[in-house]
Structure 1
Amino acid sequence: MTFSNLGPLSLTLLTSLVVAIVLLTIRVVVMQRVQQRRQRENRQETERLKSLVAAYRALAGSFTPATAEHTPQIEETLAELVLFGSLPQVELAAACLAALQRGEAPDCQPLVEALRTELRRQLGLDPIPPSLLIPRSGPGRVNTGRGGRALNAG
């Protein structure tokens, strides 16, 4: 059977079938690429979120002042924030790193608060109301005379 033996209706059906198969193939390929891109973006966001949570825990997980032996951990945490943080978080981390380079105790509280706010937003949690007072946390906060030492306190 040749194409010349097919009637016009059969030729139209065959052409429609071929076009449908080509369009379906294109759709499947495009959908696979979109799905792969979404999966990659989800993995990247998950890794970023894990890094931000770890940084938050490292900076805010303590309610006692940091000592000099905490400096390498603080620097590592701040470096991760420079890599994974939003632009405001990177700016705050850079300010903390600059304080460390000057030999000063960094004020990490604004960074801790920025991390807390973003993590709660990304996790779909309500923001913490301003009326709820959370104690200052993390390294370099002002010592209130409870026997702890600040980063550069003698």
Structure 2
Amino acid sequence: MRGLDFSSIPSLATTLFGLVLFSLVAVGVRLLFMQTVQRRRERENRQINERLRTLMAAYKTLGSSFTGELTVDPVHRREQRRSAGDQEAVVSPVPEEVAERRRRVRDAVEAALSDVILLGTEEQVRLAARAAQDMVAGRVVHTAELVASLRHYVREALDLEPIPSEVSIPDQGPLRVPGGQAGRGRGSEAGGGRGGAGGAAGGGAGMAAGAGIAGRAEENVAHEPGVDAGSR
């Protein structure tokens, strides 16, 4: 307040103008700082949400089964055929539907492992890389340890209470996918055959109906008075 001069009108106007200018500059700097912080926070929130959403999807893919086959078979069908041909095994080959289901599970697990390697923590990346190496080497892949790490991370990111130590959670395996396209393809072919037969039957019925109508029309013309065979 010592630097303010209210002795005359010009000095008062200059003082007020300086105060207004200083206030505008201070407010502008504050707004700019707040916008910068808000944008950075929104960007971080989007990154966290995207990362959390991706890891949750990977958790559902890698750990949605508690029963049945909890491992991933990395062997491709062509390798199975080659092995069966080399060894001339007497064992019956894997059914088409089972092989297709295993292929779908393997593809889903590979995509989930890729997402975990990209966006996971250091521990999760190490576990996912080990699972990927096992898959490349043709060894059976276990996902229970990686699923437990993902579960702990997701609950911590969502500010949920940790799972009590006395709660025993069984090992989890990959998501079970529906059967392959073979059964549906055969069903569609059968449906197409039935549709074609129905269309042919409908066409035959229509031709028969048209012939009957034409016959009745000729009979009506023949019974009309004053109409002889020559005029027809």
TM-score by length of 2: 0.55
1:62 deviates by 1.5
Indicate the residue corresponding to 1:103 in structure 2: 138
1:18 deviates by 0.5
Please tell me whether residue 55 in structure 1 is matched to residue 58 in structure 2: yes
Structure 1: how far apart are the matches of 2:13 and 2:157? 56
Of 112, 120, 129 in structure 1, the residue corresponding to residue 155 of structure 2 is 120
1:36 deviates by 1.1
Structure 2: how far apart are the matches of 1:18 and 1:6? 18
Of 10, 33, 37 in structure 2, the residue corresponding to residue 34 of structure 1 is 37
Q: Root-mean-square deviation (CA), in Å?
A: 1.5
| Counterpart secondary structure, 1:119 | helix
Of 15, 20, 26 in structure 1, the residue corresponding to residue 18 of structure 2 is 15
Q: Superposed, which structure 2 residues align to 1:112-151 within 5 Å?
A: 112-139=147-174
Which 5+ residue runs of structure 2 have no aligned equivalent?
1-7, 74-101, 175-232
Quick check: which has more Rg, 1 or 2?
2
Q: Deviations over 1:38-58 (max 9, x none)?
A: 111111111111111100000
| Counterpart secondary structure, 2:54 | helix
Please tell me whether residue 82 in structure 1 is matched to residue 89 in structure 2: no
Structure 1: how far apart are the matches of 2:149 and 2:22? 54
Q: Deviations over 1:16-74 (max 9, x none)?
A: 11111011112111211111111111111111111111000001112232453211111
| Counterpart secondary structure, 2:33 | helix
User: What fraction of aligned residue pairs are identical, expressed as a percent?
Assistant: 37
| Counterpart secondary structure, 2:141 | coil
1:6 deviates by 5.0
Q: Which moved more, 1:121-130 or 1:110-119?
A: 121-130
Runs of 4+ in 1 over 4 A off after TM superposition: none
Letter in 1 for 2:41: R
Structure 1: how far apart are the matches of 2:122 and 2:41? 23
Indicate the residue corresponding to 1:146 in structure 2: none
Of 22, 25, 38 in structure 1, the residue corresponding to residue 28 of structure 2 is 25
| Counterpart secondary structure, 1:137 | coil
Structure 2: how far apart are the matches of 1:73 and 1:113? 18
Indicate the residue corresponding to 1:144 in structure 2: none
